[in-house]
């Protein structure tokens, strides 16, 4: 109702201004027309609206009184217009004033104005008809005007009712809205208070968290809508505490591991350098061995050629010995023939000796005549004896020579057999030399591959040494980063670290 009263009070003020304007018009017009009574009446009419406007009254009685006042201005206009010929036209002011009263949004005001208009028309139609109509009393015209006024009044009453209902509904809606806004404001204040409480607690916890205190928890429960945030924050802090503890522990492990990795890298670099030197020595030895194998391969090739030449010489020697054996066999055959001839000579010497002996006997028988013949026979016998002795000696010598030749032939046969075995051995040796030469060539190829592999291994060891140095540098950088991480983590209070794992990488290994 406050809004409706405010609207009606504004209407009172507007109607008071309109009343002042109408009163001014009436006063001026009345004074010009020489009707001071009408001027006084106009001045008297404005008193009530001004009073209501000044005092701020818009109650029902004031509104009804105001509604009854305005048709009186129209009555004064009709009275002043009696001699102007505009009296019928000034009837329009009744309708205009009746319409302006709708601003009060009160059907009672319309009814009061309508009743005042009806009383004015009916009363003056009989008492002073010239102040109503120019032609005197006319009841039909009064009724006609009454019908029009009633129609307008009906419409205005409906409008006022609608306006009052609209304003009332609007006021009710505004009231409900105000209540809702009040409730919303109260809820907002409550929410703000709860949020302030939550934010205060959380800001305190976050400041502690920013200061590195990871162990503190929000123990005081929050309002229902925010307690989950407290739980989540506590859980997050717990997880963060575990995480920081784990990171600190892992940072220790990383620092220890990086230190051991650095030491291992240094050891690896030193061992790699030693192994590289050893591999370099092995490579030099392999190169020397490769040269020796090449020399041995060349020597084996030369030996193979020499063995082939020796085999050829042995083959030629065998052929020569075979020829010598055949010659000795021929000598043996010739010795046999010579023995036969010596035997024949021996038999001739024996027969000659017998003949000489017979000749000596005959010469002895002949006496002096046969003395010279006896001498010759003696010489012949002596010559036959020496020939027999020589033949015997030659025969013995030939027998001995034959024996030696036979022995020589046997020895030559043995030598031929032996040389055949030697040739066979030389052939086997040549084959073995070929096999050894082939193996030597394959060994030479293998040693060349070994030499190449040693060269690759040497380069790999050099690369390993370089990588070990890089690993050592990276381990040093990692150890420095782990130290920096530990120095940062030292700013947090995260309670006891998790159970320690392997202390070192070597222990873990």
How far from chain centre, in Å, is Cα 313? 81
Structure tokens at 380: 């012949």
pLDDT at 111 (0 to 100): 92
State pLDDT tens for residues 256-312.
777 777 787 778 777 777 777 777 777 778 777 777 767 777 776 777 778 777 778
Q: Is 64's pLDDT higher than 60?
A: yes
The Cβ-side half-sphere exposure at 313, using a 13 Å CA radius, reads 6
Question: Measured over all CA atoms, what is the biggest interatomic distance in the chain, rounded to whole angstroms?
Answer: 265
Residues 6+ apart with CB under 8 A from 264: 505
Phi/psi of residue 496, nearest 5 degrees:
-75, 140
Domain residue limits, the chain: 2-175, 235-489
Token pair 């041995």 is found at 296
Find the length of the chain: 509
pLDDT at 1 (0 to 100): 61
Instruction: Return mean pLDDT, the chain.
Output: 78
Q: Is 500 exposed, middle or buried (0-12, 13-18, 19+ CB in 10 A)?
A: exposed
State pLDDT tens for residues 343-395.
777 788 778 878 777 877 777 777 777 677 677 777 777 777 777 777 777 77
Token pair 């030197």 is found at 277
pLDDT at 503 (0 to 100): 47
For residues 49 and 18, give the distance between their C-alpha atoms in angstroms, rounded to a whole number.
Answer: 9
pLDDT at 39 (0 to 100): 87
How far from chain centre, in Å, is Cα 71? 93
489: how many CB neighbours lie within 10 A of its CB? 17
Question: What percent of the chain shows pLDDT beyond 70?
Answer: 90
State pLDDT tens for residues 3-15.
777 777 888 889 8
- Cα dihedral value 196, 200, 202, 204, nearest 10: 170
The answer to whether 63 and 101 are in contact (CB under 8 A) is no
For residues 385 and 364, give the distance between their C-alpha atoms in angstroms, rounded to a whole number.
Answer: 20
For residues 38 and 95, give the distance between their C-alpha atoms in angstroms, rounded to a whole number.
Answer: 21
How much is the average pLDDT of 210-222?
Answer: 76
For residues 282 and 298, give the distance between their C-alpha atoms in angstroms, rounded to a whole number.
Answer: 23
Question: What percent of the chain shows pLDDT beyond 90?
Answer: 1
pLDDT at 300 (0 to 100): 66
For residues 283 and 50, give the distance between their C-alpha atoms in angstroms, rounded to a whole number.
Answer: 129
State pLDDT tens for residues 436-486.
777 767 776 777 777 787 778 777 777 877 777 787 788 778 778 878 777
Residues 6+ apart with CB under 8 A from 3: 167, 170, 171, 174
For residues 71 and 401, give the distance between their C-alpha atoms in angstroms, rounded to a whole number.
Answer: 201
CATH number of 235-489: 1.10.287.950
125: how many CB neighbours lie within 10 A of its CB? 20
């Amino acid at each position: 109702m406050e809004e409706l009263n405010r609207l009606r009070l504004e209407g009172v003020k507007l109607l008071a201004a309109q009343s002042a304007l109408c009163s001014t018009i009436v006063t001026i017009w009345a004074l010009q027309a020489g009707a001071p009574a009408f001027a006084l009446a106009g001045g008297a009419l404005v008193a009530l609206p001004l009073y209501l406007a000044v005092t701020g009254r818009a109650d029902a009685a004031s509104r009804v009184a105001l509604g009854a006042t305005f048709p009186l201005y129209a009555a004064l206009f009709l009275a002043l217009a009696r001699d102007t010929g505009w009296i019928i036209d000034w009837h329009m002011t009744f309708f205009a004033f009746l319409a302006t009263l709708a601003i009060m949004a009160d059907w009672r005001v319309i009814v009061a104005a309508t009743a005042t208009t009806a009383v004015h028309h009916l009363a003056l139609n009989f008492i002073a008809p010239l102040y109503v109509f120019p032609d005197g009393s006319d009841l039909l015209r009064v009724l006609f005007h009454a019908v029009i006024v009633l129609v307008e009044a009906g419409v205005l009453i409906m409008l006022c009712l609608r306006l009052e209902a609209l304003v009332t509904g609007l006021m009710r809606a505004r009231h409900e809205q105000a209540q809702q806004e009040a409730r919303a404001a109260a809820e907002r204040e409550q929410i703000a208070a709860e949020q302030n409480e939550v934010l205060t607690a959380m800001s305190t916890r976050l400041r502690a968290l920013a200061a590195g205190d990871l162990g503190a928890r929000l123990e005081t429960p929050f309002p229902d809508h925010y307690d989950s945030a407290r739980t989540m924050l506590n859980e997050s802090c717990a997880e963060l505490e575990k995480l920081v503890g784990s990171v600190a522990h892992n940072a220790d492990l990383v620092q220890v591991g990086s230190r051991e990795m650095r030491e291992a890298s240094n050891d690896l670099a030193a061992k790699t350098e030693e192994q590289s030197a050893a591999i370099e020595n092995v490579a030099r030895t392999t190169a020397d061995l490769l040269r020796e194998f090449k020399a041995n391969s060349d020597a084996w090739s030369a030996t193979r050629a020499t063995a082939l030449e020796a085999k050829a010489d042995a083959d030629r020697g065998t052929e020569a010995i075979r020829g010598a054996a055949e010659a000795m066999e021929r000598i043996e055959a010739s010795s046999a023939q010579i023995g036969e001839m010596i035997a024949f000579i021996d038999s001739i010497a024996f027969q000659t000796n017998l003949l000489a002996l017979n000749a000596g006997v005959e010469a002895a028988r002949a006496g002096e005549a046969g003395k010279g013949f006896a001498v010759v026979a003696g010489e012949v016998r002596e010559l036959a004896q020496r020939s027999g002795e020589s033949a015997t000696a030659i025969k013995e010598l030939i027998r001995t020579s034959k024996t030696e030749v036979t022995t020589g032939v046997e020895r030559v046969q043995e030598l031929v057999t032996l040389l055949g075995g030697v040739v066979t051995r030389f052939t086997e040796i040549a084959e073995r030399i070929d096999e050894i030469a082939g193996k030597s060539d394959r060994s030479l190829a293998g040693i060349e591959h070994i030499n190449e592999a040693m060269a690759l291994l040497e380069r790999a060891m050099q690369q390993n040494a370089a990588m070990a140095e890089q690993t050592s540098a990276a381990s040093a950088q990692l150890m420095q980063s782990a130290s920096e991480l530990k120095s940062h983590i030292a700013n947090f209070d995260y309670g006891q670290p998790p159970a320690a794992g392997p202390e070192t990488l070597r222990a873990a290994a």
